[in-house]
Amino acid sequence: DDLTIDVAIFRGNPKNVLLHISGTHGVEGFAGSAVQNSVLGGETADLWKTMKADANPTKYPTVIFIHALNPYGFAKLRRWNENNVDLNRNFLDAKQFEERLALDPNRHGYVDFNNFFNPSSVLPWNDFYLLLAVYHIVRYGYVSMKKSLVTGSHHHPKGVFYNGVELQQS
């Protein structure tokens, strides 16, 4: 697999920067890549040539394209990197990771929903899973369920929306 991250920089005014990243969530890279290809080609191709040739490029913004920030997820059609880490939730420094790990693992209810979010086996009936969803929503509330899922966890490395315990790459 070609697990590379490509970067294109069009230098302009460093105080005005446009940053476009594709593939943070791996599989979403196809849409982001299409946007980047469209912007780099077609009618805007002449703009890039003009910027490059201009004696005063600072009248244009600096434009940075990062393609396939999560190349593993992109190649494997996964949201997460090879360590199951959601890179969009993994931008903390060492002190912040330490602080998050010291917090109650159930601070946002992830532990309450862990068996629902991360079943230990394949459920034999999809209807059963839907009943389980209704049970959790009735017991804990939809807002609590959603908050625990979108917040993710630093304590369940095999679970969905795992945030990791250290800075990751892909």
> How confident is residue 128, by pLDDT bands cut at 50, 70 and 90?
confident
Contact 7, 40 (CB under 8 A): no
Q: Which is more confident, 121 or 123?
A: 121
Share of the chain above pLDDT 70, in %: 99
Compute the residue count for the chain. Answer: 170
Per-residue pLDDT tens for 18-68? 999 999 999 999 999 999 999 988 778 888 888 888 889 899 999 999 999
pLDDT of residue 70: 94
- Structure confidence at residue 170 as a pLDDT band (50, 70, 90): confident
Q: What's the pLDDT score for residue 122?
A: 77
**Taking 90 as the threshold, does the pLDDT of residue 139 lie above it?**
yes
Statement: residue 143 has pLDDT above 80 = yes
Token pair recorded at residue 37: 């290809």
Tens digits of residue pLDDT in 73-104 = 999 999 999 999 999 889 999 999 999 999 99
DSSP assignment of the chain: -----EEEEE--EEEEEEEEE--TTGGGHHHHHHHHHHHHSGGGHHHHHHHHH-S-GGGSEEEEEEE-SSHHHHHHT-SS-TTSB-GGG----HHHHHHHHHS-TTTTSHHHHHHHHS-SS--S-HHHHHHHHHHHHHHH-HHHHHHHHHH-BSS-TTSTTB--SS----
